[in-house]
Amino acid sequence: MLPTRLHALIGATACVLALGTLRPAAAQQADEQAPRHGPTPEQKAEMERAVHEAVQQDIRAVAQYKLPKDFFARMLPLTRQIRMAHIIPPTQTRNMTLVATIRRTEAMPQLQPLLLQYGLSARDFVMGITAFQMTVERLDDTGARGKDIPRLNPDNVTLIRTHQGLTQALLNNMDDGSEHLQ
């Protein structure tokens, strides 16, 4: 298993802490009296609450987003072209807010002509793919997480259930680049 950035950071921190025990007591005392930098525990808790609320808002927005009736007609050829161009859109990057994902999508010059060709904005693309993925995952879910996710847009559920072949084709298009995900 290759070390991740987190493992490297933990290792570096452990080395720093170990070296810190070897310093003279006067230097350690001066460090202890120096002002602390960074957020307080209360500030950290508030930031965590804000992030949690932002994530919940994103989940609600995606769950209720209505896919257009021609979703598959546009998204299937678009995702095929994206795959053939070896473009990895930020919609396949985990742990990003919708706003950040849309901004990163807008900032990809190689993706913009393809989106325009299919009459999609970066927001349309991000919201469509994300709503599609959430709906498919939720429909495949055995109900274990059902209480945590808001009600899905019923039109999206119908669209996906009535076009299972197209759903699978789109999932296949999207999975072809998954080995590059971060």
The helix/strand count (H/E) of the chain reads as 9, 0
Please tell me the total number of residues recorded for the chain in this structure: 182
Tokens of 34: 């120096």
Lowest mean pLDDT among 7-16, 86-95, 131-140: 7-16
Of residues 110, 85, 80, 37, the one with CA closest to residue 174: 80
- DSSP class of residue 25 equals H
Of residues 125, 137, 131, the one with CA closest to residue 153: 131
Distance CA 89, CA 139 (A): 24
Question: Domain boundaries in the chain?
Answer: 42-178
Confidence (pTM): 0.70
- pLDDT tens-digit profile of 32-74? 555 667 889 998 899 888 888 888 899 999 999 999 999 999 9
CA angle 167, 79, 109 (to 5 degrees): 150
